[in-house]
């Protein structure tokens, strides 16, 4: 029989324990554990959620890996064409973990209306384009269909639609300058069939998505010539390794770079979230541990006579320490229970009801995204329990210094 656990249960269940002098301090310790879990859970869920949301939005416009001509052109416009007749297209079989590859092209142009104009990047795509991301972004109309050879359908962002007064069904003209400034510009008629909003305003105000055949005609390219390839991978955690593998498999006249290289400043910014999360976890566990140490010391002081009696009856120091550690474990678990209940409640409320909005011009999202996973919730609970108990081993050592004779006489 584990008599230490038995005595700890009797102490916890007694009415005197709940109305003792240490009761308020114990409640503060439980509250500290609960608040710590809530703060850590919210920090992890929103931090990882924001990272994933921003990352997915950037990937939607660029793919995970971009394959281009090996030149020094750093603009958004496709200058030198690439042939679609490659060994890695339409399936990138040499590298495992690649889910899709698509051919695209981009060209800078100006949307012209009777009263206004706006410079945008016309992104030309074909029948191989992956619309999965934009299905979630679509807020009006439908996605374009490019089965017809000269489809004029385009997908425009809500940002551009509001600035220019467009809605689904409207038509407009785009103007494209030629390399020779003495020649007249080219014109392209566009028909709005859908409006999207990714929440990433810096990208929304840049891109208009239409048929790649128009850019092939404007650039005087052949039907099998495109601007670049966009590659999507299965696991983002393998991005760096897959980028190297893709680079090794393409011809020497081509270059491959990841989305992290293209938008280094954005990914450096969101990587800071990891440091913030670790910092918050460390501080919260430290605060919770200090509160539990205080509660344990008060419990030991309050039960000094009981410690003396147990020692007089033959209990060794470790047995008495175990008794108080069992007691502290119960308090920690109680704090974890309430912390999980409140924390998960807040996270699910944010996930389904979008209670906390964010400024998209600063955070690139319209509301605080949350990432909820059983794995990190369990790791957080187990880690908090273990670390708090390890911190309590030191103050429980005070038990060894208590003399049975003096303890029994203690008032």
Look at residues 191, 217, 251 and tell me which one is the last residue of a structural domain. Answer: 251
Q: Are residues 246 and 117 in the same domain?
A: yes
In a domain, 260, yes or no: no
Give the C-alpha separation, 179 to 185, whole Å.
9
Alpha carbon of 205 to those of 122, 157, 378: distances in Å? 11, 7, 41
Alpha carbon of 392 to those of 116, 234, 294, 387, 388: distances in Å? 69, 44, 10, 9, 6
Q: Are residues 388 and 328 in the same domain?
A: yes
Structure confidence at residue 109 (pLDDT): 94
In a domain, 261, yes or no: no
Give the C-alpha separation, 106 to 248, whole Å.
25
Give me 61's structure tokens.
Answer: 């416009």
In the predicted model, residues of the chain with pLDDT beneath 50 are none
Alpha carbon of 213 to those of 185, 200, 331: distances in Å? 18, 27, 68
Structure confidence at residue 286 (pLDDT): 92
Q: Are residues 163 and 282 in the same domain?
A: no
Structure confidence at residue 408 (pLDDT): 65
Q: Are residues 99 and 51 in the same domain?
A: no
Number of domains in the chain: 2
Structure confidence at residue 199 (pLDDT): 85
Structure confidence at residue 411 (pLDDT): 53
In a domain, 165, yes or no: yes
Q: Are residues 246 and 391 in the same domain?
A: no
Structure confidence at residue 19 (pLDDT): 64
Q: Are residues 232 and 271 in the same domain?
A: no
Domain limits at 92?
71-251
Which long-range contacts (C-beta less than 8 Å, at least 24 apart) are formed by 401-409?
402/304, 402/307, 402/308, 402/311, 403/308, 404/308, 404/309, 404/311, 404/312, 405/308, 406/308, 407/304, 407/305, 407/307, 407/308, 407/309, 407/311, 408/305, 408/308, 408/309, 408/312
Q: Please compute, for residue 10, the number of CA atoms within 13 A of its CA located in the half-sphere on the CB side.
A: 8
Q: Are residues 338 and 233 in the same domain?
A: no
Q: Are residues 236 and 335 in the same domain?
A: no
Look at residues 251, 280, 298 and tell me which one is the last residue of a structural domain. Answer: 251
In a domain, 61, yes or no: no
Q: Are residues 310 and 170 in the same domain?
A: no
> What pTM did the predictor assign?
0.85
Q: Strand pairing partners for 276?
A: none
Alpha carbon of 56 to those of 72, 137, 200, 365: distances in Å? 27, 11, 10, 11
Question: What number of other Cβ atoms are within 10 A of residue 202's Cβ?
Answer: 15
Structure confidence at residue 410 (pLDDT): 55
Q: Are residues 245 and 102 in the same domain?
A: yes
Q: Are residues 277 and 386 in the same domain?
A: yes
Structure confidence at residue 97 (pLDDT): 94
Give me 161's structure tokens.
Answer: 């639609």
Structure confidence at residue 318 (pLDDT): 86
Give me 13's structure tokens.
Answer: 């269940």
Q: Are residues 307 and 173 in the same domain?
A: no
Structure confidence at residue 76 (pLDDT): 74
In a domain, 259, yes or no: no
């Amino acid at each position: 029989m584990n008599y230490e656990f038995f005595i700890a249960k009797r102490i916890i269940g007694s009415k005197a324990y709940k109305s003792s002098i240490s009761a308020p301090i114990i409640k503060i310790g439980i509250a500290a554990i609960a608040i710590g879990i809530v703060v850590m859970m919210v920090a992890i869920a929103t931090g990882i959620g924001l990272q994933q949301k921003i990352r997915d939005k950037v990937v939607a416009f660029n793919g995970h890996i971009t394959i281009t001509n090996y030149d020094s052109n750093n603009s958004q416009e496709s200058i030198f064409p690439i042939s679609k007749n490659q060994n890695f297209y339409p399936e990138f079989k040499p590298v495992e973990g690649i889910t899709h590859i698509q051919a695209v092209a981009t060209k800078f142009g100006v949307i012209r209306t009777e009263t206004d104009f706006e410079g945008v990047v016309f992104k030309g795509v074909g029948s191989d384009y992956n619309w999965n991301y934009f299905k979630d972004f679509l807020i009006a109309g439908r996605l374009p269909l490019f089965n017809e050879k000269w489809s004029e359908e385009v997908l425009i962002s809500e940002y551009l639609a509001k600035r220019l007064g467009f809605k689904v069904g409207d038509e407009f003209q785009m103007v494209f300058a030629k390399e020779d400034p003495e020649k007249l510009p080219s014109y392209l008629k566009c028909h709005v069939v859908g409006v999207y909003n990714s929440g990433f305003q810096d990208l929304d105000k840049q891109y208009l998505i239409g048929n790649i055949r128009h850019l092939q005609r404007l650039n005087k390219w052949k039907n099998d010539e495109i601007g670049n390839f966009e590659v999507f991978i299965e696991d983002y955690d393998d991005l760096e390794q897959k980028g190297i593998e893709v680079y090794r498999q393409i011809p020497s006249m081509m270059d491959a770079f990841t989305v992290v290289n293209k938008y280094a400043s954005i990914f450096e910014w969101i990587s800071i979230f990891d440091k913030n999360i670790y910092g918050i976890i460390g501080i919260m566990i430290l605060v919770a541990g200090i509160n539990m140490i205080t509660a344990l010391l008060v419990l030991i002081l309050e039960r000094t006579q009981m410690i003396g009696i147990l020692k007089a009856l033959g209990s060794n120091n470790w047995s008495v320490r175990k008794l108080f550690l069992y007691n502290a474990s119960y308090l920690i678990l109680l704090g974890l229970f309430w912390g999980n209940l409140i924390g998960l409640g807040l996270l699910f409320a944010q996930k389904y009801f979008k209670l906390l909005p964010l400024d998209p011009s600063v955070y690139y999202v319209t509301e605080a995204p949350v990432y909820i996973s059983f794995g990190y919730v369990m790791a957080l609970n187990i880690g908090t329990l273990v670390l708090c108990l390890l911190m309590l081993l030191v103050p429980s050592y005070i038990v060894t210094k208590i003399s049975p004779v003096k303890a029994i006489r203690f008032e």
